[in-house]
């Protein structure tokens, strides 16, 4: 397996990056002590949104149950008239397991890109054997229950196997190729993601703290009614996290979605997003946005490898360095020890270490990781 792997150390001040069902920062026990945790799903979303904002033409997918408007837009862009657009929406929603109780919705979240939806819609609106006849279109939008039922039955031969071409020949679905898609109702639409994410764990022991707050009621003018309008507690923590992000280059190539130039743009954008993106929870009230203190970037062949066990014994803060410096030392030692003990070929290695001369910049890392592969 050809891999790009990123081992990232990132420190955050007062934050609540990822909340549990009670609104508290997520946590986990590792090495016998409680750690701060940010779920892989949480950081994936931050990375996906960052990548979409910077390269929407490649990272164009959306995950939603609300597919009606997107289906209509796909049909419109393919030149369908208003009646056909409405009829196509009905057929495609049925094909994607419509939620009968909610207009324009399907029963489960679906990960789709604009071009992939056009693949589904195209046979119904472009001249060919599956193009909808006028009588079927009129029946589907008639509003008469019997006519609609008959039209849907007549449309079955046109809508059969519509989803087979869903993921073919699209270049705006890098996020689906990287993050994957699971469709329980149609296994043919399931995509194994090429990207690998760990849960981010603090390199040291962490316990959440409470912030007591009070909010003033600006309209309280009477001294007899003095006091806060609202009081409460918010949980937070502060931690230095280790997180792993990898890309299975073989699996990405197997998707056959991108030419060489596009593959390079996808990987370049993804690597940057993986390093720079931060979950947005409480970004206005507990602004903790910061960049990594250390990144070890590797391109190699073999099985994916987390370095989280560098912190199985939690690091201890030093008065003159906090948690970052001993975390960097522990990570470097773990990587060196693993290579020596198991004969791991480190392949291409480069690192960013904030404040240390001689290490790479983000641009240098991206260029080195992608040199010679695309």
- The pLDDT score that the predictor gives to residue 23 is 84
Write the pLDDT tens digit of every residue in 154-191. Answer: 888 777 778 888 878 888 999 999 998 877 666 777 88
- Given a contact cutoff of 8 angstroms between Cβ atoms, the answer to whether 289 and 281 are in contact is no
Q: What is the pLDDT of residue 96?
A: 87
Residue 298 CB partners (closer than 8 Å, separation 6+): 3, 4, 5, 6, 7, 346, 347, 348, 349
HEC string for 131-164: CCCHHHHHHHCCCCHHHHHHHHHHHHHHHCCHHH
Task: Give the mean pLDDT of 44-56.
Answer: 96
Give the residue-averaged pLDDT of 53-58. Answer: 95
Q: What is the pLDDT of residue 351?
A: 93
Q: Which of 309, 329, 307, 308 is nearest to 318 (CA)?
A: 329
What's the average model confidence in pLDDT over 96-119? 90
pLDDT value for 279? 92
Residues 130-145: what's their mean pLDDT? 85
Residue 55 in this model has a pLDDT that exceeds 90: yes
Please tell me the predicted confidence (pLDDT) of residue 143.
83
Do the strands 209-215 and 230-248 form a parallel or antiparallel pair, or are they unpaired? antiparallel
| Pairwise CA distance, residues 238 & 203, whole Å | 11
Model pLDDT, residue 189: 77
Region of 220 on the Ramachandran plot (φ > 0 left; ψ -120 to 50 alpha; else beta)? beta
Q: How many CB atoms lie within 10 A of CB 117?
A: 24
**Cα(278)–Cα(292) distance, integer angstroms:** 10
Q: What is the pLDDT of residues 236-287, one digit of tens each?
A: 899 999 999 999 999 999 888 898 999 999 999 999 999 999 998 787 787 8
Distance from C-alpha of 217 to C-alpha of 220, rounded to nearest angstrom: 6
Tokens representing 87 are 């009829």
Q: Global pTM?
A: 0.89
The answer, yes or no, to whether residue 152 has pLDDT greater than 90, is no
Structure tokens at 341: 């003990």
**Per-residue pLDDT at 223 exceeds 70:** no
Higher confidence at residue 36 or residue 255? 36
Each residue of 71-91: pLDDT tens digit? Answer: 999 999 999 999 999 999 998
Per-domain boundaries in the chain: 2-58+193-206+239-370, 62-171
pLDDT in tens, 310-351: 999 999 998 788 999 999 999 999 999 999 999 999 899 999
What does the pLDDT read at residue 108? 87
User: How far is it between the farthest Cα atoms of the chain?
Assistant: 79
Q: Mean pLDDT of all residues in the chain?
A: 90
Q: What pLDDT, on the 0 to 100 scale, is given for residue 123?
A: 87
> Quick one: pLDDT band at residue 219, thresholds 50, 70, 90?
confident
Among 126, 101, 107, CA closest to 67: 107
Range 134-170 burial, b when 16+ CB lie within 10 A, else e: eebbebbbeeeeeeeebbbeebeebbeebbeebbeeb
% of the chain at pLDDT higher than 70: 98
């Amino acid at each position: 397996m050809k891999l790009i792997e990123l081992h990232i150390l990132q420190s955050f001040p007062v934050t609540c990056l990822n909340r549990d069902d009670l609104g508290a920062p997520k946590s986990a026990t590792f090495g016998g002590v409680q750690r701060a945790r940010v779920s892989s799903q949480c950081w994936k979303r931050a990375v996906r949104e960052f990548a979409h904002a910077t390269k929407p033409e490649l990272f164009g997918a959306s995950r939603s149950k609300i597919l009606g408007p997107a289906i209509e837009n796909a049909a419109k862009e393919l030149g369908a008239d208003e009646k056909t657009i409405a009829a196509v929406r009905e057929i495609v929603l049925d094909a994607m397991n419509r939620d009968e109780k909610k207009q324009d919705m399907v029963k489960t979240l679906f990960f789709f890109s604009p071009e992939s939806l056009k693949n589904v819609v195209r046979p119904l609106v472009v001249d060919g054997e599956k193009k909808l006849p006028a009588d079927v279109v009129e029946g589907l939008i008639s509003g008469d229950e019997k006519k609609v039922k008959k039209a849907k039955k007549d449309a079955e031969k046109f809508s059969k196997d519509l989803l087979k071409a869903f993921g073919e020949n699209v270049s705006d679905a890098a996020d689906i190729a990287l993050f994957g898609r699971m469709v329980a109702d149609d296994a043919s639409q399931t995509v194994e993601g090429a990207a690998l994410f760990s849960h981010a764990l603090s390199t040291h022991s962490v316990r959440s703290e409470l912030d007591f707050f009070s909010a003033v009621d600006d309209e309280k003018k009477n001294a007899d009614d003095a006091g806060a309008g609202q009081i409460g507690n918010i949980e937070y923590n502060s931690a230095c996290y280790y997180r792993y992000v990898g890309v299975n280059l073989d699996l990405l190539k197997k998707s056959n979605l991108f030419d060489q130039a596009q593959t390079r743009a996808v990987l370049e954008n993804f690597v940057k997003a993986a390093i720079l993106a931060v979950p947005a929870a409480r970004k206005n009230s507990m602004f903790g946005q910061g960049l990594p203190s250390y990144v070890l970037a590797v391109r190699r062949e073999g099985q994916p490898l987390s370095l989280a066990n560098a912190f199985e014994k939690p690091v201890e803060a030093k008065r003159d360095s906090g948690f970052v410096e001993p975390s960097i030392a522990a990570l470097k030692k773990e990587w060196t020890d693993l290579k020596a003990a198991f004969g791991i070929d480190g392949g291409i290695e480069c690192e960013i270490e904030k404040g240390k001369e001689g290490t790479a910049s983000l641009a240098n890392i991206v260029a080195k990781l992608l040199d010679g592969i695309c």
